[in-house]
Structure 1
Amino acid sequence: MFHWPDHVMIKEVGPRDGLQNEKIEVPFEDKVAWINLLSEAGYSYIEISSFVHPKWIPQLKDARQVASSIERKPGVTYAALVPNRKGLEAAVDTDVDEVSIFMSASDTHNKKNINKSIEETFPVLEEVVKEAKLEGKSVRGYVSTAFGCPYEGDVATDQVTMVCERLFGMGVDEVSIGDTIGVANPMQVDQKLTEWKKSLPIDQLAMHFHNTRGMALANVLVSLQHNITTFDAALGGLGGCPYAKGASGNLATDDLVYMLHRMGIETGIDEQKLKEAGNFIQNVLNKTLPSHQMQVMNKERV
């Protein structure tokens, strides 16, 4: 019998990773209202937007306005993705609590996503980390395509280890390892985490699963067995990857919370308020969200 943790931290990435892949641009006022609802639901961490150039992700072109307008609740970390020094300046100006940097474990995806090779990316990110630390910000690193690349296929475990070690060497506080195209399975997660634990600090790792093939919750269970207790998720299962065709939504926060709470694992999140926040963004997007909990809620209302 496995010893499950008493508490798991769920980092909500819906306002950034969820909305960046939507075809419509959600109005600024609705983004702010949604983030405020998420703050009331009991999260301790919400990724609110991304300070990337609007040409690349027009859905998040109002990042500065959003960051300046949300109602900040004490005890909640409000984070944003930054691609470079210019993005960091905007994040600092709007007093974001934590900045996230990002890159891929596969070179081809990294070039498609950032327009640089992996080796060319490290100096850019190192400058961001250094400046962010000088500004008193914590820094998170995202490593995409850790379980598979849409262009290269399998990604070697030691390649992911190398990228993570370089990020930790820069001074990042946590690395989120991503299954960007949703190809991971429980056995693969077990094998890779077994290897990664040999070189990487397990208490500074988070997992970022996509549910493209319905494996996300199963992969969470395996990760829990390896003492991973931080997971990224998006309410309703929103999201995907703009540069990975067919990569459907993130692990759904509401499904994850349902599972964890019934296993006796605390998250600090209020399920009723989570439903209210999910219903709000579902109405804004005018579409049914893919999570199982949203499906149940929609049927109950009929």
Structure 2
Amino acid sequence: MTDGLPMSVPAPDLPRRVRIHEVGARDGLQNEKTVVPTEVKAEFVHRLAAAGLTTVEATSFVHPKWVPQLADAEQLFPQLADIEGVALPVLVPNARGLDRARELGARRIAVFGSATESFAQANLNRTVDESLAMFEPVVALARAEGLHVRGYLSMCFGDPWEGPVPVGQVVGVAKRLMDLGCHELSLGDTIGVATPGHVKALLTALDEGGVGTESVGVHFHDTYGQALSNTLAALQYGVTTVDASAGGLGGCPYAKSATGNLATEDLVWMLQGLGIETGVDLGLLTATSVWMAEQLGRPSPSRTVRALSHQEQ
């Protein structure tokens, strides 16, 4: 039996604290077949914040045609105004998206690029060069207004159309994205094919290319059950920002082979076992994911959620 917490046995050469970048309310819910009511989304974000997560990605200001599940961004964001001390970044695909976010007072934005041409075309209907050109004025304006800018880079390890992605190719696009002025880079394993050695090789190459771990976050999907292993490899290299999704929600609407994100509860269980601080209350977080699973009408895929809540398969 467990009291809901693992035994803490700190390991050497690991960060003392990790910032979890919670993506369930955006990356998770955008992949739902049914549209989740705005009030449910707002309560989800409030519950995540109450569980101790300091960064909760709230929504995406994309055209409703592309992501109808997040078409209520204008209605949702004002409902989060009472949340204090928690960063609430939003995804903006272009200048129009930035305008919409700014009008509502968003202070942290993210742009979403691709390391491969195939996914850039599928996701943005642009080449890699064209997508970076589209982001340039967005990042410049955001920076000029004092906003924090995150750059997502997808398909950093493998692409469903192109196969394994060369490390040098990823580094090249990553440097260009950071050169636009992004404060932070999130490395996406969009289809979940990364393995620990590959992770360390990419982080090493980025470091040598001038993109250090202090500005890098990792975003792993668990398609082949490697998300935690890959996260540990990144932590051993010095990364301290990890993306995760409460209850393991999410995938990628433009990459059909992508399964859910790394579950935040599974991540917190591992980090607590390693003696790494997160500030997250695992009990409250698990209860939140159980509640959201009830809203969605299915059990959470997170192993930790199921173990702690005794959810049935």
Q: TM-score interval w.r.t. the shorter chain?
A: over 0.9
1:149-228 to 2 correspondence within 5 Å? 149-199=159-209, 200-228=211-239
Match of 1:46 in 2: 56
CA displacement 1:246-287 (0-9 Å, x = unmatched): 210000100000110111000011111111211121111011
Asked whether the equivalents of residues 9 and 230 of structure 1 are also in contact (C-alpha less than 8 Å), the reply is: yes
By how many angstroms is 1:299 displaced?
2.1
Match of 1:253 in 2: 264
SS of residue in 2 equivalent to 1:78: coil
1:24-39 to 2 correspondence within 5 Å? 24-39=34-49
For 1:98 and 1:65, locate their aligned partners in 2 and report how far apart those are by CA, in whole Å. 18
CA displacement 1:44-94 (0-9 Å, x = unmatched): 101010000000000000011111112443221101000000000111111
CA displacement 1:31-55 (0-9 Å, x = unmatched): 0011011111111101010000000
Match of 2:92 in 1: 82
Match of 1:295 in 2: 306
1:9-28 to 2 correspondence within 5 Å? 9-28=19-38
Alpha-carbon spacing, 1:106–1:120, altered in 2? closer, same or farther (3 Å): same
Asked whether the equivalents of residues 92 and 135 of structure 1 are also in contact (C-alpha less than 8 Å), the reply is: no
Match of 2:7 in 1: none
CA displacement 1:168-216 (0-9 Å, x = unmatched): 1111100000000000111211222222211112200000000011000
Alpha-carbon spacing, 1:300–1:101, altered in 2? closer, same or farther (3 Å): closer
**Which residue of 95, 103, 109 maps to 1:99?**
109
Asked whether the equivalents of residues 36 and 71 of structure 1 are also in contact (C-alpha less than 8 Å), the reply is: no
For 1:300 and 1:21, locate their aligned partners in 2 and report how far apart those are by CA, in whole Å. 22
**Which residue of 255, 272, 279 maps to 1:244?**
255
Letter paired with 2:109: V
Asked whether the equivalents of residues 305 and 311 of structure 2 are also in contact (C-alpha less than 8 Å), the reply is: no
Q: CA RMSD in A?
A: 1.4
State the percentage of identical aligned residues. Answer: 44
1:111 and 2:121 equivalent?
A: yes
By how many angstroms is 1:136 displaced?
1.9
Letter paired with 2:72: D
For 2:52 and 2:309, locate their aligned partners in 1 and report how far apart those are by CA, in whole Å. 23
What residue ranges of structure 2 are gaps of 5+ in the alignment? 1-10
Asked whether the equivalents of residues 286 and 309 of structure 2 are also in contact (C-alpha less than 8 Å), the reply is: no
SS of residue in 1 equivalent to 2:158: coil
Letter paired with 2:44: W
By how many angstroms is 1:141 displaced?
0.2
**Which residue of 246, 270, 275 maps to 2:281?**
270
SS of residue in 2 equivalent to 1:165: helix
By how many angstroms is 1:135 displaced?
2.3
Larger displacement relative to structure 2 (108-117 or 152-161)? 152-161
By how many angstroms is 1:134 displaced?
2.2
For 2:82 and 2:93, locate their aligned partners in 1 and report how far apart those are by CA, in whole Å. 24
1:286 and 2:297 equivalent?
A: yes
Letter paired with 1:283: E
1:229 and 2:240 equivalent?
A: yes
For 1:248 and 1:97, locate their aligned partners in 2 and report how far apart those are by CA, in whole Å. 30
Letter paired with 1:228: V
What residue ranges of structure 1 are gaps of 5+ in the alignment? none
Asked whether the equivalents of residues 290 and 300 of structure 2 are also in contact (C-alpha less than 8 Å), the reply is: no
